[in-house]
Amino acid sequence: MANTETALKEALTSIEGATGVALVDYTSGMALGTLGGSKNFDLGVAAAGNTDVVRAKMRTMEHLGLKGQLEDILITLTDQYHLIRLLSGRSGNGLFLYLVLDIKRSNLAMARHQLKKIEQDIEV
C-alpha cells in the first residue's frame, strides 16, 4: 500500500505525458495532495472545479436510475487529456485521482491502465 505522496509521485513519473496529478475529496472540493502543474495551471483550482463535474455526473446517474459504478471521466482538450478516476473501496469513498496529460506525449489507454493500478495500491 502506498501513501498519498508516494502514489502521486508514481503517477507523475510513471505515466507517460503526465504533467499534474491530484488526490481530491469531491465532497469538500479540497485537494488532499497535488504534484506537478505549473504557474499557468493551478492544480488546486482545477481539482476544486472538477468536483462539480463528478457531482453532476453522479446526480445524473441517480436521476436516470443507473446502477453501475462510475469508474472514470475523460475530458479532452485540444492539447490535454484530463482524467478523473474515482477511488473505489472503503478507504477511497468520496475521493478521486485527477490526472492531467499532454496529449502529444501520452497514451490514453496506458494512462488509464496505470492510474487504475495506482488506485488499487493507494492507502488513504
Q: How confident is the model at residue 2 (pLDDT cuts 50, 70, 90)?
A: low
| Count of other CB atoms within 10 angstroms of residue 14 | 14
Residue with cell 453501475: 68
Contacts of 89 (CB under 8 A, 6+ apart): none
Geometric angle at alpha carbon 44, from 38 and 48, rounded to 5°: 140
pLDDT tens-digit profile of 42-82?
A: 999 999 999 999 999 999 999 999 998 899 999 999 999 99
Q: What is the mean pLDDT of residues 87-95?
A: 73
**Prediction pTM value:** 0.92
pLDDT at residue 20, rounded to an integer: 96
pLDDT band at 3 (very low <50, low <70, confident <90, very high): confident
Q: How far is CA 4 from CA 32, 91, 92, in A?
A: 8, 12, 11
CA-to-CA dists, residue 109 to 30, 84, 101, 106, angstroms: 27, 14, 12, 9
In the three-class reduction of DSSP (H, G, I as helix; E, B as strand; rest coil), residue 4 is classed as: helix
Distance separating alpha carbons of residues 63 and 60, to the nearest angstrom: 5
Per-residue pLDDT averaged across 103-117, rounded?
A: 95
Query: And the C-alpha cell for 79?
Result: 492539447
Q: How confident is the model at residue 92 (pLDDT cuts 50, 70, 90)?
A: low
Q: Over the chain, what is the mean pLDDT?
A: 91
